[in-house]
A and B are shown apart, each in its own frame.
Chain A
């Protein structure tokens, strides 16, 4: 009984230790050869990141600033699978490869665009969540586009201890 209580308390406390502070509007384009993701950060997080990476304070991201941002910020998200997890419906796979990274600062928001390779499956899910729940990735139907004949739709996804979004793709 004691250990069971302790176990439940531990589970409860892990549930009670995080909540979102960074909000990313996520756009997904499923193309025949790749998937293009666009992250649009909330204004507050954008201001913080720009303070770190817009070294010359011109409110634009120059190529060398983008390169440093990619190395110093974006690539550090690899251990978190860039908050994108692929699944064939049974197993979940972390994202190992991203390409075509670019960043810009538009309408007071920091925008990241990058491409991810398509999985080999005909039917798969892209699950968008941060396991530590510090970042909330928000997806909306109007932010999803799929090149015909690919079909896709957005649904809620149970990320173990909170709900996130997933995109279901049928090639």
Chain B
């Protein structure tokens, strides 16, 4: 029996092709699954699980699947592929063969999966890419704006420094799109503030120990620093300042627990800072988007997820900073802002244990 024949047959019945997704009306893809008491099948294809962020991202996805409304309506599964494009592509074809209703993808390559994603879309499967998204138009994208993040960090510093003083920029992995977008966003702001002088720019590789080492090496040659702009490894940069007996100026940085703890007050240091991270719960937002589209309550559109900035005044121990977690833990697994998209408990991020109660995800307005 030829599976593709069967799939083509189904596509005719549903009458929805793979093209023109953005304009599809509400309910255009709504499926009768719920009516028949069946669950939607949603699969997460994660390109790799080699760092803490990816672990938390997968853990909150697992936790969400065990919480309402997903528990009763979604049958979820997940796969990792060692950051190998051809392996992820092969796994995706296996996923497609299982005919799920939606596939969520954190991609190993922005283009390398286009072929197989197009095939999935052609078979009427809802394809959603998040975090590391893809270029094919046959796939919805869920992500934050990286340039906006860079801009927000820079804005914070300009304000804190009253528009004048010395800034260092600790960048990420050179050559990546994310690194470039964040720097570009920051530069736009700093250019408009003539009093701000970027006295040095070096990489921290998005890694605390590298950031600490590089900062310690470069610090003796630097004048007084009035602001730190850091893409990642923020706690490492702060530690280097402390070891060198330099006062820690206002810091705009990522969402490492170590940084958040300094924002609360840690080892006698209280850092005035702004913490914004790439939220691990992008997976849960993508899950919610898939669910809403499948039940016909959301248009098939890309989602720009607003940032969840957190200042030293807002950060709370036990909610958005954790004394009992390592510094490298990403503390933004839950939205700590005033109008949160979602609220998750720490166990969800740690090992995928569901939180009590229902998980309400307020999708950002389109």
Do A and B assemble together?
Answer: no
